[in-house]
Amino acid sequence: MKQTKYLKISHLTHSFEQKKVLDNINLNLRQGQVIAIVGRSGCGKSTLLNLIANLIELEQGDIVNDFSTAILFQDTRLLPWKNARENISWGLKANGVKHKSRNDIAHKLAYEVGLNEQDLDKYPHELSGGMKQRVAMARAFAVRPELLLLDEPFSALDIGLKEDLYQHLIAEIEQRNLTVLFITHDLMEAVKLADEILVLSDNPGREAYRYLSDTPRESRDQDYVYKTAMNLLNVDAVKLAFQTGGQYEYLG
């Protein structure tokens, strides 16, 4: 019987220059599950993601990650000397995939995220912000990660493009049991996408509230998302975590 993979974080604490930014974070992410880490700016969300991705050395606690992992940032970090096709297929090239195969995969993924043949020949400076994010998403999907880490990749996009990329992400989650951990300051985004929401307070970042959803993603229409987010904001622990933030900081 195939064993289920997981990401397990136990008693994680981290400091920068003797200032504690995360305190006793615990999290269990099972294969196929989507967890959102929510909190206002400065609560340590990005630090947590960077620790999971091994971009920062772990200071205290344990992280066990059974998954092959890719990360998608708000800053797309495309290679400026490579065109869109080459950026999408860059991870495949690093994995030794032959030229024709990686080009075929890049084309397929580009079309799936809404890019066309002309877009594939463009360099990052020739692409709009939304197109860059589509390229970055296709690049992340190309290596077929088991776990996708998302660092607020949708926060700078307009609502129409957000909805479009949400649907591409949901399709990957449902079709191939993709596991996702994403951070956001947008509570409505968390409600729309996540099976579990972990709300962090700040100074230092620690668990303030945990919410579990059993509503299928396909049933989470705009009305459901808004009502659920508003109900969460009526929870004292959640309200306290956002007490100095403005309305649009946590409702997109």
Domain membership of residue 54 as a residue range = 1-13+30-68+145-244+248-252
Structure-model confidence comparison of residues 51 and 162, the more confident one? 51
Name the domain count of the chain: 2
In DSSP terms, which residues pair with 148 in a beta bridge?
70, 180
pLDDT per residue over 94-105, tens digit each? 888 888 898 899
Give Cβ neighbours of residue 166 (< 8 Å, ≥ 6 apart): 154, 192, 193
Residue 44 has pLDDT above 80, yes or no: yes
The whole-model pTM stands at 0.89
pLDDT at res. 130 = 87
Question: For residue 204, is the peptide bond before it cis, meaning its omega torsion is within 30 degrees of 0?
Answer: yes
Q: 100: part of which helix (H) or strand (E)?
A: helix 99-112
pLDDT at 249: 45
Q: pLDDT at position 1, please?
A: 53
pLDDT in tens, 222-250: 999 999 999 999 998 888 877 654 443 44
Q: How confident is the model at residue 189 (pLDDT cuts 50, 70, 90)?
A: very high
Residues 90 and 100 in one domain: yes
- Cα–Cα distance between 111 and 113 in angstroms, integer? 5
Q: For residues 156 and 172, give the distance between their C-alpha atoms in angstroms, rounded to a whole number.
A: 22
Do 194 and 114 lie in a common domain?
no
For residue 20, is pLDDT > 60?
Answer: yes
**CA gyration radius for the chain?**
18
Mean pLDDT of 182-206: 92
Q: What is the pLDDT of residue 146?
A: 94
Residue 149 near residue 70, CB atoms below 8 Å: yes
Q: What angle do CA 155, 156, 160 make, to 5 degrees?
A: 90
Are residues 161 and 236 both part of a single domain?
A: yes
Q: Which of 121, 144, 167 is the last residue of a domain?
A: 144
CB 85 within 8 A of CB 103: yes
**What pLDDT band is residue 2 in, cutting at 50, 70 and 90?**
low
What pLDDT was estimated at residue 246? 42
Same domain, 50 and 120: no
Contacts of 137 (CB under 8 A, 6+ apart): 72, 113, 153, 165, 168, 169
pLDDT of residue 10: 96
Find all residues with CB under 8 Å of 79, minimum gap 6, and list them: 86, 87, 90, 124
Higher pLDDT, 157 or 88: 88
- Which CATH number covers residue 2? 3.40.50.300
In a domain, 76, yes or no: no
How far apart CA 127 and CA 130 sit, in angstroms, is: 8
Three-class DSSP category at 124: helix
Mean pLDDT, rounded, of the chain: 88
Least confident piece of the model among 97-106, 138-147, 154-163, 195-204: 154-163
Q: Taking residues 168-174, what's their average pLDDT?
A: 89
Cα(48)–Cα(178) distance, integer angstroms:
20
